[in-house]
Amino acid sequence: MIEEIHIRDLGIITDARLPLEPGLSVLTGETGAGKTMVVTALGMLLGNRSDATSVRNGAKNALAEAVIRLPKNHAALDLAHNAGGTVEDIDSESSELLLARTVNASGRSRAHVGGCTAPIGTLADIGRTLVAVHGQSDQLRLKSSSEQRHALDSYAGAPLVQALEEYRGVYERYRAVASALKEMRENARARALEAQTLQGALAEIDAVAPVEGEDEALRVESMKLMNVEALRQASAIASAALSGSEYSSGDESNVLALLDAARTALAAQSSSDEALAALTERVNEVLILATDAASDLASYMASLDSDGPGRLAQVQERRAALKTLTRKYGADIAEVLAWAEESRVRLESLDDNPARLEALENELVQLRKNLGESAQKLMRMRQEAAQKLAHAVSEELTALAMPNASLVVEVSEAEKFSAHGKDSVSFMLAPHKTAVPRPLGKGASGGELSRVMLALEVVLAEVDPVPTFIFDEVDSGVGGKAAIEIGRRLAMLAKHVQVLVVTHLPQVAAFADQHILVLKNDDASLSKVQVLSEEERVVELARMLSGHDQSEAAQEHARELLAAGRQV
């Protein structure tokens, strides 16, 4: 829901903040006070086209901001995150999002989502998930066939949603099989050539039979074999230093002999002093380590003796074979093996044997039959839901001073299957009993369209709501009992969503949970906005009823309206 709207230098409003609450909020004021600017500000925040003429005279730019509170799983928050915006967590269940739009005197505008600059289109995408605006100059929320279908499906409920999921499973498989069959029939020669190429490549890889990581292991071994003489010489020198050489006379010193002598000398006196005993133990540990190192060096030298030119030749030949594969099929052996695995799968799909072709053809026939049955089931469910929806909306229209009008929801068979079925959905309005139904938005006045949308939203609110609805003079052209019914239905809608209504009718305003008044200053050049208290509401309703806000009779009538409004 929208928690606050901030407007600055827009139309005749210099600076105004509208704190909004859940439920029904009404916006009233004398003609020309600037009520429309509130709707204009919201339109700016929804990505509508900017208009330089809306900037207040003498101001550099106009600003519209909104603070919006949403549940954490709301789609608008994901869109804000994707745009780089920051979302503030309020508690474990809800978050707060800030939207802003500025328009300068030259007509250029900027949008901000969560404190970050964003394209105007992003505001529009977010706005579609947040607010539905219904006014005499606004486009309908349910303006396209796809949106009408979505609304009808939501109204039909879980059984239709489940049937649609089952249909889509069959539809996707049908498309996959049809595509595979088409490729087999139309590209047989190209497929045969591709299969031949893959077979040759896989045969080449299989002949080498590479093992993942083998190329790196062979590189290390090759480096060792190419430097075997230097390695042998270094290890021989180290071995002689540690344990002596087999060619020595026996008088040369070596590490093991010196350490053994040191240990023997210390051990003879270690019983006389604990410190010396500890040092003796440490020298003995060093002797053990040195003995192990000498033994390992001897083993290493033996392995060098077994590595010769023959092994080097084998390694280099193997590396050359692997290099040939990596030049053709991947950066390393791991990529070569992955490519081979993918190619084997692809090769199987290129198999054009008659048995596989016949199997696909038979499957496609069965899938088409199943698809037709699923599509017919969907269409029947939609037609049943369409009758119920049309009846419910038509009843609402009767209460909204359109007793002879009716909504017609037509579900007709389409030419082709789609992801939604094989039908088309169209919402149409018959203004009177003998009229030919026409698509929404054609053949009806702005006031009639506003009431049609109100009736639709009241019926759909429980199954397909957006967080906030805004109605701009939805009560145009009605009064008396019809106006009371409009107010009652707006209050009913407000039980499920937040509703903001711009109205001139006291019968509608009396049903509000919150009453906001737009006032002109004495010089009529600037406007201000204020939330009315209970007594202030009585005065404003009296003004709307009679034009005299201090009339006792009008105020008494206003109190009666307020009392009736609380009974909803």
pLDDT by 10s per residue, the chain, length 568: 888 889 888 887 888 888 888 899 998 887 766 677 788 888 888 887 777 888 888 888 888 898 989 888 888 888 888 888 888 888 888 888 899 999 888 878 888 988 888 888 888 888 888 887 776 555 456 667 888 898 899 899 889 999 999 999 999 999 999 988 887 776 777 777 888 889 999 999 999 899 888 888 888 877 777 777 777 778 878 878 888 776 555 566 788 888 888 888 888 888 888 888 899 899 889 988 988 888 888 888 777 765 566 777 787 888 888 888 888 898 888 999 999 999 998 888 776 667 777 888 899 999 999 999 999 999 999 999 999 999 999 988 887 778 888 899 999 999 999 999 999 999 888 888 888 888 876 766 666 776 787 888 788 877 766 788 888 776 666 667 778 888 888 888 888 888 998 888 888 889 999 998 888 776 655 677 888 988 989 988 888 888 777 778 888 888 888 888 777 6
**Residue 109 burial by Cβ neighbours in a 10 Å radius (0-12, 13-18, 19+):** buried
- Assign residue 556 a region (left: φ > 0; alpha: ψ between -120 and 50; beta: otherwise): alpha
Q: How many CB atoms lie within 10 A of CB 139?
A: 12
Alpha helices in 131-187 (DSSP H): 145-156, 158-186
> Full-prediction pTM beyond 0.75?
no
Dihedral, CA of residue 274, residue 275, residue 280 and residue 283, to nearest 10: 150
Strand partners of residue 96: 69, 88
CB 198 within 8 A of CB 343: yes
Cα–Cα dist 483/401, whole Å: 8
Alpha helices in 27-112 (DSSP H): 35-45, 75-82
- The pair of three-digit structure tokens given for residue 554, joined into one six-digit string: 């009008």
Whole-Å CA distances, 469 to 65, 111, 568: 17, 22, 19
SS3 247: coil
Cα–Cα dist 520/528, whole Å: 6
How many residues make up the chain in this entry? 568
Pairing of strands 468-472, 131-135: parallel
Q: What is the DSSP string of 174-204?
A: HHHHHHHHHHHHH-HHHHHHHHHHHHHHHHH
**Residue 536 burial by Cβ neighbours in a 10 Å radius (0-12, 13-18, 19+):** middle
Pairing of strands 61-71, 2-10: antiparallel
